[in-house]
Amino acid sequence: MEYISDVQAKQMILEVGRRMYQGGFVAANDGNISCKVGDNEIWATPTGVSKGFMTEDMLVKLDLEGNVLEGTHKPSSEIKMHLRVFKENPKVQGVVHAHPLTATAFACAGISLEEPVLMEGVLLLGCVPLVHFALPEAVAPYCREYNAVLLANHGALTWGDNLMQAYYRMETTEYYAKILMMNNFILGKKTLLSQGQVDDIIRIRAGWGITTGGRPIGPESAQNLEDICISRKNK
């Protein structure tokens, strides 16, 4: 497997950090970013530093056991989730954790993102299951089949074949959540993609070499979820 260089990885982490901060995906020192540069080496963001104001000397190089190889700063304790994703899915080369407002609101409400309302959501991201604990062992079962998860009462975690793909999946997760928020709680109306349309989109996705993402829930299950959302709203 080919990897990007240390220099490229560090530059990309800083760029993703700036985009996350400027996009309002993190506040203060929230969030983590990691990028794989070897079979047993990653670069990661440090703890206690704003993702919008990092410099290369702040970044930390680790092995997949969490041992620091380079750097003077400490990695976040949440790096354990990143390490678990890398271990569970060797194809992954980038992981992003953030607290985008709408997606995090869904996570805090205990609602996953699985309704087929947005073609791009099915095509580029797929389903985003809810994980009930922000712990490595809770995330582990999802790392090979999906591209993202919501962390209950915490935020979102995305990964990809490279760091920019992982970041774009975070953007799509937030956009998907905004669409569902508008449909379910503001407009109170939506049109779901048919199962035939979902089948077509998944075939296109597979043709692009994307074999992960899961399958959105069907109209019947989506109606049940809508009933739950309405019930919660009326309480």
Q: What is the pLDDT of residue 12?
A: 98
Instruction: Render pLDDT for 39-74 as a digit per residue (tens, 0 to 9).
Output: 999 999 999 999 999 999 999 999 999 999 999 999
* CA separation for the pair 218, 63 (Å, rounded): 41
pTM given for the model:
0.91
How many beta carbons lie within 10 A of that of residue 181, not counting itself? Answer: 18
pLDDT of residue 232 exceeding 60, the answer is no
Handedness of CA 225, 229, 234, 235 (dihedral sign): positive
Length of the chain: 235
Helices 163-181 and 6-22 pack at an angle, to 10 degrees, of 20
Instruction: State the DSSP H helix or E strand holding residue 87, giving kind and residue range, or none if neither.
Output: helix 79-88
Instruction: Render pLDDT for 24-45 as a digit per residue (tens, 0 to 9).
Output: 999 999 999 999 999 999 999 9
